[in-house]
A and B are shown apart, each in its own frame.
Chain A
Amino acid sequence: MNIKEFSCTVEKIKEYKDDEGGIAKILILKHNEDFEFKAGQFIMLAPPGFMDRNKPDQLRFAAYSMCSSPKEKNIIELCLRIEKPGGLSDYVNKNVKVGSELIVKGPYGRFNLAEEEVKEYIFSATGTGIAPFISMLRLLKEGNFSKPVHLFFGFRNSKQFLYGEELNALEKSWPNFHFYPCCGDKNDSDWQGEKGFIQHIIKKTKFEAGNEAHCYACGIPAAVEETSELFKELGFKPEKIHVEKY
Protein backbone atom coordinates (compact mmCIF):
# COMPACT_ATOMS: atom_id res chain seq x y z
CA MET A 1 0.00 0.00 0.00
CA ASN A 2 1.51 3.29 -1.09
CA ILE A 3 -0.31 6.17 0.58
CA LYS A 4 0.56 9.58 -0.80
CA GLU A 5 -0.35 13.14 0.08
CA PHE A 6 -0.26 15.72 -2.68
CA SER A 7 -1.80 18.85 -4.08
CA CYS A 8 -4.46 18.96 -6.81
CA THR A 9 -6.00 21.75 -8.83
CA VAL A 10 -9.73 21.83 -9.48
CA GLU A 11 -10.20 21.60 -13.22
CA LYS A 12 -13.97 21.27 -13.55
CA ILE A 13 -17.08 21.42 -11.35
CA LYS A 14 -20.53 20.13 -12.22
CA GLU A 15 -23.43 20.91 -9.90
CA TYR A 16 -26.72 19.08 -9.34
CA LYS A 17 -29.19 21.24 -7.45
CA ASP A 18 -32.80 20.41 -6.63
CA ASP A 19 -35.76 22.55 -5.57
CA GLU A 20 -35.42 21.52 -1.92
CA GLY A 21 -31.90 22.90 -1.55
CA GLY A 22 -30.13 19.58 -2.03
CA ILE A 23 -26.78 20.03 -3.78
CA ALA A 24 -24.30 17.47 -5.10
CA LYS A 25 -21.11 18.37 -6.94
CA ILE A 26 -18.77 16.48 -9.20
CA LEU A 27 -15.20 17.75 -8.93
CA ILE A 28 -12.49 16.90 -11.41
CA LEU A 29 -9.05 17.39 -9.90
CA LYS A 30 -5.80 17.50 -11.85
CA HIS A 31 -2.44 16.51 -10.37
CA ASN A 32 1.10 15.59 -11.39
CA GLU A 33 1.61 12.72 -8.95
CA ASP A 34 2.28 9.10 -9.91
CA PHE A 35 -0.85 7.99 -8.07
CA GLU A 36 -2.26 4.48 -8.30
CA PHE A 37 -5.50 3.19 -6.81
CA LYS A 38 -8.09 0.46 -7.22
CA ALA A 39 -11.61 1.14 -8.45
CA GLY A 40 -13.82 1.64 -5.39
CA GLN A 41 -11.14 3.14 -3.16
CA PHE A 42 -11.39 6.56 -1.52
CA ILE A 43 -9.15 9.49 -0.65
CA MET A 44 -9.13 12.02 2.17
CA LEU A 45 -9.74 15.53 0.92
CA ALA A 46 -8.76 18.74 2.69
CA PRO A 47 -8.12 22.39 1.97
CA PRO A 48 -4.40 23.35 1.94
CA GLY A 49 -3.00 23.59 5.47
CA PHE A 50 -5.79 21.67 7.13
CA MET A 51 -4.18 18.26 7.32
CA ASP A 52 -1.66 19.04 10.03
CA ARG A 53 -1.85 16.28 12.64
CA ASN A 54 -0.16 18.50 15.20
CA LYS A 55 -3.06 20.93 15.00
CA PRO A 56 -6.08 18.69 15.53
CA ASP A 57 -8.35 21.66 16.05
CA GLN A 58 -7.59 22.65 12.48
CA LEU A 59 -8.02 19.18 11.08
CA ARG A 60 -10.78 19.38 8.55
CA PHE A 61 -10.90 16.62 6.03
CA ALA A 62 -13.36 14.08 4.72
CA ALA A 63 -13.39 10.79 2.85
CA TYR A 64 -14.63 10.63 -0.75
CA SER A 65 -14.67 7.68 -3.14
CA MET A 66 -13.07 8.20 -6.50
CA CYS A 67 -15.32 8.14 -9.56
CA SER A 68 -12.46 8.18 -12.04
CA SER A 69 -11.12 4.98 -13.51
CA PRO A 70 -7.71 3.89 -12.18
CA LYS A 71 -6.57 4.07 -15.81
CA GLU A 72 -7.25 7.82 -16.01
CA LYS A 73 -3.85 9.23 -15.10
CA ASN A 74 -3.39 12.59 -13.38
CA ILE A 75 -7.14 12.94 -12.83
CA ILE A 76 -9.18 12.35 -9.67
CA GLU A 77 -12.93 12.68 -10.00
CA LEU A 78 -15.07 12.97 -6.88
CA CYS A 79 -18.77 13.27 -6.18
CA LEU A 80 -19.78 15.17 -3.03
CA ARG A 81 -23.08 15.84 -1.34
CA ILE A 82 -23.07 19.28 0.28
CA GLU A 83 -23.86 18.72 3.93
CA LYS A 84 -24.02 20.62 7.20
CA PRO A 85 -22.26 23.97 7.63
CA GLY A 86 -18.73 23.75 9.01
CA GLY A 87 -17.79 20.51 7.29
CA LEU A 88 -15.55 20.02 4.30
CA SER A 89 -18.36 19.78 1.76
CA ASP A 90 -19.67 23.14 2.97
CA TYR A 91 -16.16 24.55 2.57
CA VAL A 92 -16.00 23.17 -0.96
CA ASN A 93 -19.42 24.59 -1.77
CA LYS A 94 -18.56 28.08 -0.54
CA ASN A 95 -14.89 28.41 -1.44
CA VAL A 96 -13.75 25.99 -4.11
CA LYS A 97 -13.81 27.14 -7.71
CA VAL A 98 -12.07 26.09 -10.91
CA GLY A 99 -8.36 26.67 -10.25
CA SER A 100 -8.59 26.18 -6.45
CA GLU A 101 -6.06 23.97 -4.70
CA LEU A 102 -7.07 20.94 -2.61
CA ILE A 103 -4.99 18.36 -0.77
CA VAL A 104 -5.53 14.67 -1.39
CA LYS A 105 -4.26 11.79 0.76
CA GLY A 106 -4.73 8.13 -0.12
CA PRO A 107 -5.72 5.75 -1.52
CA TYR A 108 -7.67 3.94 1.18
CA GLY A 109 -10.33 1.27 1.36
CA ARG A 110 -11.23 -2.32 0.62
CA PHE A 111 -14.43 -1.79 -1.36
CA ASN A 112 -12.97 -3.14 -4.59
CA LEU A 113 -13.84 -5.38 -7.49
CA ALA A 114 -13.32 -9.06 -6.70
CA GLU A 115 -9.93 -10.53 -7.51
CA GLU A 116 -11.36 -13.93 -8.41
CA GLU A 117 -13.14 -14.69 -11.66
CA VAL A 118 -16.59 -13.12 -11.36
CA LYS A 119 -19.74 -14.51 -12.98
CA GLU A 120 -21.96 -11.50 -12.33
CA TYR A 121 -21.78 -8.16 -10.54
CA ILE A 122 -24.74 -6.60 -8.72
CA PHE A 123 -24.19 -2.99 -7.66
CA SER A 124 -26.63 -1.06 -5.46
CA ALA A 125 -26.15 2.66 -4.79
CA THR A 126 -28.04 5.46 -3.10
CA GLY A 127 -27.19 9.13 -3.68
CA THR A 128 -23.48 9.91 -3.87
CA GLY A 129 -22.89 6.23 -3.09
CA ILE A 130 -22.85 5.96 -6.88
CA ALA A 131 -19.24 7.26 -6.85
CA PRO A 132 -17.25 4.00 -6.46
CA PHE A 133 -19.49 2.26 -9.00
CA ILE A 134 -18.75 4.90 -11.63
CA SER A 135 -15.05 4.04 -11.23
CA MET A 136 -15.75 0.30 -11.34
CA LEU A 137 -18.05 0.56 -14.37
CA ARG A 138 -15.56 2.65 -16.32
CA LEU A 139 -12.84 0.11 -15.56
CA LEU A 140 -15.01 -2.90 -16.41
CA LYS A 141 -16.14 -1.30 -19.66
CA GLU A 142 -12.57 -0.41 -20.61
CA GLY A 143 -11.58 -4.03 -19.97
CA ASN A 144 -14.51 -5.36 -22.05
CA PHE A 145 -15.89 -7.30 -19.08
CA SER A 146 -18.09 -9.96 -20.69
CA LYS A 147 -20.32 -11.05 -17.79
CA PRO A 148 -23.55 -9.34 -16.62
CA VAL A 149 -23.26 -6.18 -14.54
CA HIS A 150 -26.36 -4.75 -12.83
CA LEU A 151 -26.59 -1.30 -11.29
CA PHE A 152 -29.53 -0.37 -9.04
CA PHE A 153 -29.39 3.35 -8.35
CA GLY A 154 -31.70 5.18 -5.96
CA PHE A 155 -31.69 8.97 -5.87
CA ARG A 156 -33.78 11.57 -4.07
CA ASN A 157 -35.41 13.23 -7.09
CA SER A 158 -34.90 13.60 -10.84
CA LYS A 159 -32.58 16.60 -10.39
CA GLN A 160 -30.26 14.41 -8.28
CA PHE A 161 -29.92 11.75 -10.98
CA LEU A 162 -26.11 11.82 -10.72
CA TYR A 163 -24.22 10.60 -13.80
CA GLY A 164 -27.60 9.95 -15.46
CA GLU A 165 -26.45 10.76 -18.99
CA GLU A 166 -23.29 8.67 -18.71
CA LEU A 167 -25.12 5.68 -17.23
CA ASN A 168 -27.94 5.76 -19.79
CA ALA A 169 -25.37 5.97 -22.59
CA LEU A 170 -23.38 3.13 -21.05
CA GLU A 171 -26.44 0.87 -21.03
CA LYS A 172 -27.05 1.56 -24.73
CA SER A 173 -23.43 0.86 -25.72
CA TRP A 174 -22.68 -2.12 -23.45
CA PRO A 175 -25.08 -5.09 -23.77
CA ASN A 176 -23.86 -6.70 -20.52
CA PHE A 177 -24.76 -3.64 -18.47
CA HIS A 178 -28.26 -3.48 -16.97
CA PHE A 179 -29.25 -0.20 -15.37
CA TYR A 180 -32.17 0.25 -12.95
CA PRO A 181 -32.52 3.92 -11.92
CA CYS A 182 -35.13 4.62 -9.24
CA CYS A 183 -36.41 7.99 -8.04
CA GLY A 184 -37.20 8.19 -4.33
CA ASP A 185 -39.74 11.00 -4.67
CA LYS A 186 -43.01 9.38 -5.75
CA ASN A 187 -44.48 12.80 -6.55
CA ASP A 188 -41.69 13.81 -8.92
CA SER A 189 -43.60 14.42 -12.17
CA ASP A 190 -40.36 14.95 -14.12
CA TRP A 191 -39.40 11.31 -13.61
CA GLN A 192 -41.14 8.73 -15.80
CA GLY A 193 -39.28 5.62 -14.63
CA GLU A 194 -39.31 3.50 -11.48
CA LYS A 195 -40.10 5.21 -8.17
CA GLY A 196 -39.68 4.17 -4.55
CA PHE A 197 -36.97 1.99 -3.06
CA ILE A 198 -34.32 0.10 -5.02
CA GLN A 199 -34.78 -2.97 -2.82
CA HIS A 200 -38.17 -3.55 -4.45
CA ILE A 201 -36.55 -3.60 -7.89
CA ILE A 202 -33.74 -5.90 -6.75
CA LYS A 203 -36.34 -8.37 -5.45
CA LYS A 204 -38.08 -8.71 -8.81
CA THR A 205 -34.90 -8.94 -10.92
CA LYS A 206 -33.59 -12.26 -12.25
CA PHE A 207 -29.85 -12.84 -11.97
CA GLU A 208 -28.01 -15.27 -14.24
CA ALA A 209 -25.33 -16.52 -11.88
CA GLY A 210 -27.66 -17.37 -9.01
CA ASN A 211 -26.00 -16.99 -5.64
CA GLU A 212 -22.53 -16.86 -7.24
CA ALA A 213 -22.82 -13.15 -8.04
CA HIS A 214 -20.72 -10.59 -6.21
CA CYS A 215 -23.05 -8.03 -4.58
CA TYR A 216 -22.12 -4.49 -3.59
CA ALA A 217 -24.03 -1.81 -1.67
CA CYS A 218 -22.88 1.77 -1.11
CA GLY A 219 -24.57 4.90 0.19
CA ILE A 220 -26.48 6.01 3.26
CA PRO A 221 -26.04 3.50 6.14
CA ALA A 222 -29.72 2.54 6.52
CA ALA A 223 -30.07 1.72 2.83
CA VAL A 224 -26.78 -0.18 2.76
CA GLU A 225 -27.81 -2.29 5.76
CA GLU A 226 -31.23 -2.99 4.28
CA THR A 227 -29.79 -3.95 0.90
CA SER A 228 -27.11 -6.11 2.48
CA GLU A 229 -29.79 -7.98 4.45
CA LEU A 230 -31.83 -8.36 1.26
CA PHE A 231 -28.85 -9.88 -0.56
CA LYS A 232 -28.56 -12.43 2.26
CA GLU A 233 -32.31 -13.17 2.14
CA LEU A 234 -32.06 -13.74 -1.60
CA GLY A 235 -29.42 -16.38 -0.95
CA PHE A 236 -26.25 -14.61 -1.98
CA LYS A 237 -23.14 -15.77 -0.15
CA PRO A 238 -22.12 -13.48 2.75
CA GLU A 239 -18.47 -13.55 1.65
CA LYS A 240 -19.55 -12.14 -1.72
CA ILE A 241 -21.50 -9.23 -0.24
CA HIS A 242 -19.45 -6.01 -0.04
CA VAL A 243 -20.64 -2.84 1.69
CA GLU A 244 -19.47 0.75 2.06
CA LYS A 245 -21.44 3.13 4.29
CA TYR A 246 -21.29 6.91 3.81
Chain B
Amino acid sequence: MIFLSKHKIEYDRPGCIGCGTCPVLCPENWFMEEDGQAQFKKKEINENDFDSNMEAAKNCPVNVIHVLDEKGKKLI
Protein backbone atom coordinates (compact mmCIF):
# COMPACT_ATOMS: atom_id res chain seq x y z
CA MET B 1 0.00 0.00 0.00
CA ILE B 2 1.36 3.46 -0.93
CA PHE B 3 0.68 6.23 1.57
CA LEU B 4 0.57 9.57 -0.22
CA SER B 5 -0.84 11.21 2.88
CA LYS B 6 -1.71 10.09 6.34
CA HIS B 7 -4.84 8.29 7.33
CA LYS B 8 -6.81 9.62 10.23
CA ILE B 9 -8.57 8.22 13.27
CA GLU B 10 -12.14 9.23 14.01
CA TYR B 11 -13.19 8.37 17.54
CA ASP B 12 -16.49 8.90 19.36
CA ARG B 13 -15.14 8.82 22.91
CA PRO B 14 -18.47 9.22 24.77
CA GLY B 15 -19.61 5.95 23.20
CA CYS B 16 -16.60 3.98 24.49
CA ILE B 17 -17.58 1.29 27.00
CA GLY B 18 -14.01 0.75 28.21
CA CYS B 19 -13.67 -2.88 27.17
CA GLY B 20 -9.92 -2.50 26.63
CA THR B 21 -9.81 -4.23 23.25
CA CYS B 22 -8.13 -1.43 21.25
CA PRO B 23 -5.00 -1.11 23.44
CA VAL B 24 -4.51 -4.86 23.18
CA LEU B 25 -4.82 -4.90 19.38
CA CYS B 26 -3.05 -1.58 18.77
CA PRO B 27 -0.88 -0.66 21.77
CA GLU B 28 1.16 1.75 19.64
CA ASN B 29 -1.80 4.12 19.33
CA TRP B 30 -4.42 3.24 21.96
CA PHE B 31 -4.37 3.29 25.74
CA MET B 32 -6.86 3.33 28.62
CA GLU B 33 -7.28 6.55 30.55
CA GLU B 34 -7.93 6.74 34.28
CA ASP B 35 -11.65 7.22 33.76
CA GLY B 36 -11.76 3.78 32.15
CA GLN B 37 -12.24 4.93 28.56
CA ALA B 38 -9.86 4.47 25.65
CA GLN B 39 -7.89 7.26 24.01
CA PHE B 40 -5.58 7.46 21.01
CA LYS B 41 -2.08 8.91 21.04
CA LYS B 42 -2.10 10.34 17.52
CA LYS B 43 -4.90 11.17 15.14
CA GLU B 44 -2.83 10.74 11.99
CA ILE B 45 -1.45 7.29 11.43
CA ASN B 46 1.24 6.03 9.09
CA GLU B 47 1.80 2.78 7.26
CA ASN B 48 3.43 1.19 10.29
CA ASP B 49 0.33 1.74 12.42
CA PHE B 50 -2.29 1.20 9.73
CA ASP B 51 -3.01 -2.51 10.11
CA SER B 52 -3.20 -2.51 13.88
CA ASN B 53 -5.47 0.57 13.95
CA MET B 54 -7.72 -1.14 11.41
CA GLU B 55 -7.85 -4.19 13.68
CA ALA B 56 -8.75 -1.98 16.65
CA ALA B 57 -11.51 -0.31 14.62
CA LYS B 58 -12.82 -3.59 13.21
CA ASN B 59 -13.06 -5.22 16.62
CA CYS B 60 -14.39 -2.30 18.65
CA PRO B 61 -17.65 -3.77 20.04
CA VAL B 62 -19.50 -0.46 19.89
CA ASN B 63 -18.06 0.83 16.58
CA VAL B 64 -16.72 4.09 17.96
CA ILE B 65 -13.33 3.81 16.20
CA HIS B 66 -13.03 4.54 12.50
CA VAL B 67 -10.10 4.86 10.11
CA LEU B 68 -10.47 7.51 7.39
CA ASP B 69 -8.46 7.69 4.20
CA GLU B 70 -6.77 10.84 2.93
CA LYS B 71 -10.05 12.04 1.42
CA GLY B 72 -11.92 11.56 4.66
CA LYS B 73 -13.72 8.43 3.50
CA LYS B 74 -14.36 5.84 6.18
CA LEU B 75 -12.39 2.66 5.50
CA ILE B 76 -14.00 1.12 8.53
Which A positions have Cβ atoms within 8 angstroms of B?
Answer: 1, 3, 42, 44, 53, 56, 59, 61, 63, 105-106, 108-110, 243
Chain A's closest residue to B36 (CB) is A243
The 9 A-B residue pairs with the shortest CB-CB distance, nearest first, are A110-B20, A108-B19, A1-B24, A44-B61, A3-B59, A109-B19, A108-B61, A108-B21, A63-B61
List chain B residues, Cβ under 8 A from A243. Answer: 36
Q: Is B61's CB under 8 angstroms from A105's CB?
A: yes
List chain A residues, Cβ under 8 A from B25. Answer: 1
Chain B's closest residue to A243 (CB) is B36
Total contacting residues, chain B, CB less than 8 A: 14
Task: Please measure, in the bound complex, the distance between the C-alpha atom of A135 and the C-alpha atom of B28, giving whole angstroms.
Answer: 32
List chain A residues, Cβ under 8 A from B61. Answer: 44, 61, 63, 105-106, 108
**Highest count of chain A CB atoms <10 Å: which of B19, B21, B36:** B19
Q: Is A110's CB under 8 angstroms from B19's CB?
A: yes
Chain A's closest residue to B20 (CB) is A110
List chain A residues, Cβ under 8 A from B36. Answer: 243
List chain A residues, Cβ under 8 A from B19. Answer: 42, 63, 108-110
Chain B's closest residue to A106 (CB) is B61
Task: Please measure, in the bound complex, the distance between the C-alpha atom of A137 and the C-alpha atom of B36, giving whole angstroms.
Answer: 25
Q: In residues 1-48 of chain B, which contact A (Cβ within 8 Å)?
A: 17-21, 24-25, 36
Q: In residues 36-76 of chain B, which contact A (Cβ within 8 Å)?
A: 36, 58-59, 61-63, 76
Task: Please measure, in the bound complex, the distance between the C-alpha atom of A243 and the C-alpha atom of B76, giving whole angstroms.
Answer: 30
**Highest count of chain B CB atoms <10 Å: which of A59, A108, A243:** A108
Question: With contacts A108-B21, A109-B20 known, is A53 near B63, CB below 8 A?
Answer: yes
Contact for B21 among A1, A53, A56, A59, CB less than 8 A? A1
Task: Please measure, in the bound complex, the distance between the C-alpha atom of A53 and the C-alpha atom of B57, giving whole angstroms.
Answer: 11
20 chain-A/chain-B pairs, Cβ below 8 angstroms: A1-B21, A1-B25, A3-B21, A3-B59, A59-B63, A61-B61, A63-B17, A63-B19, A63-B61, A63-B62, A105-B61, A106-B61, A108-B19, A108-B21, A108-B61, A109-B19, A110-B18, A110-B19, A110-B20, A243-B36
Task: Please measure, in the bound complex, the distance between the C-alpha atom of A1 and the C-alpha atom of B76, giving whole angstroms.
Answer: 20
Given contacts A63-B62, A108-B61, A109-B19, list 16 more A-B pairs with CB under 8 A: A1-B25, A3-B21, A3-B59, A42-B19, A53-B58, A56-B63, A59-B63, A61-B61, A63-B17, A63-B19, A105-B61, A108-B19, A108-B20, A108-B21, A109-B20, A110-B18
List chain B residues, Cβ under 8 A from A110. Answer: 18-20
Report B76 CB to chain A, min CB distance, Å.
7
Report B22 CB to chain A, min CB distance, Å.
10
List chain B residues, Cβ under 8 A from A106. Answer: 61
Task: Please measure, in the bound complex, the distance between the C-alpha atom of A59 and the C-alpha atom of B63, giving whole angstroms.
Answer: 10
Report A188 CB to chain B, min CB distance, Å.
32
Report A220 CB to chain B, min CB distance, Å.
15
**Highest count of chain B CB atoms <10 Å: which of A44, A53, A56:** A53
